């Protein structure tokens, strides 16, 4: 299967050319636990505008034919929204020295092919090429251990992230909002930061 896939890279304003594909993929993948995201294209385009407007933002995407089946993004933290910046600012970090990793998403049938590692490699290489950055970080949603929609066989990505050299910083938390499944209005979700020196 991996031989039939194609890969693209986009930076800054170039991301707009595939924004519909990325938005649809995000809606599909984040529909599942733990995000349980009730997404719309309109809501997505507002969110993704941040990446389109940031000169050093980066997208690496995987296509199977004409369909985007996987994607990952990153952006300088100074170009992210205030709810992402504030926890690190408040903890004394220099936001100008940090790159924030956005989504890392794959349709289920394309998992287990090594693309998760490829996504981290591509983003980390992009950050190194930018220079002047010393840390990478991302957030993961914390749904607790007893969420009613948590699948019986659910395994978090913690072990994979630790293997990649990221450290969970439970004291660094942000609140982000999006509509849960069945909701029409966004509600707040607790997000935990993971950090790695680059």
Strand partners, 70: 62, 106
Average pLDDT score over residue span 48-70: 97
The whole model's pTM is what?
0.94
Q: In whole angstroms, how far apart are CA 112 and each of 6, 27, 81, 84, 117?
A: 17, 21, 32, 30, 10
Average pLDDT score over residue span 35-52: 91
For residue range 67-89, what is the model confidence (pLDDT) as tens digits?
A: 999 999 999 999 999 999 999 99
Residue 94 has pLDDT above 90, yes or no: yes
pLDDT score at 32: 93
SS3 content of the chain, % helix, strand, coil (to 5): 35, 35, 30
pLDDT score at 1: 66
Q: Are residues 84 and 62 in contact, defined by beta-carbon separation less than 8 angstroms?
A: no
pLDDT score at 152: 87
Domains and CATH numbers, the chain: 2-197 (3.40.630.30)
Neighbouring residues of 129: CB distance < 8 A, sequence distance ≥ 6: none
Q: Are residues 73 and 59 in contact, defined by beta-carbon separation less than 8 angstroms?
A: yes
Residue 182 has pLDDT above 90, yes or no: no
Q: Are residues 117 and 152 in contact, defined by beta-carbon separation less than 8 angstroms?
A: no
Average pLDDT score over residue span 161-175: 95
Residue 114 CB-density burial (10 A; 0-12 exposed, 13-18 middle, 19+ buried): exposed
């Amino acid at each position: 299967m991996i031989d039939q896939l194609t890969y693209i890279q986009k930076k800054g304003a170039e991301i707009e050319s595939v924004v519909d594909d990325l938005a649809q993929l995000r809606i599909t993948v984040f529909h599942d636990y733990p995000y349980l995201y009730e997404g719309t294209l309109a809501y997505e385009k507002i969110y993704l505008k941040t990446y389109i407007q940031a000169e050093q933002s980066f997208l690496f995407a995987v296509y199977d034919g004409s369909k985007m089946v996987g994607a990952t993004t990153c952006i300088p933290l100074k170009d992210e929204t205030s709810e992402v910046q504030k926890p690190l600012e408040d903890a004394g970090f220099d936001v100008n020295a940090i790159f924030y990793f956005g989504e890392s998403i794959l349709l289920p049938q394309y998992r287990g092919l090594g693309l998760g590692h490829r996504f981290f490699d591509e983003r980390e290489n992009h950050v190194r090429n930018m220079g002047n950055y010393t840390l990478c970080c991302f957030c993961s949603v914390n749904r607790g251990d007893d969420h009613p929609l948590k699948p019986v066989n659910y395994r978090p990505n913690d072990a994979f992230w630790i293997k990649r050299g990221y450290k969970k910083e439970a004291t660094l938390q942000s609140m982000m909002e999006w509509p849960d499944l069945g909701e029409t209005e966004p509600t707040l979700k607790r997000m935990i930061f993971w950090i790695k020196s680059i």
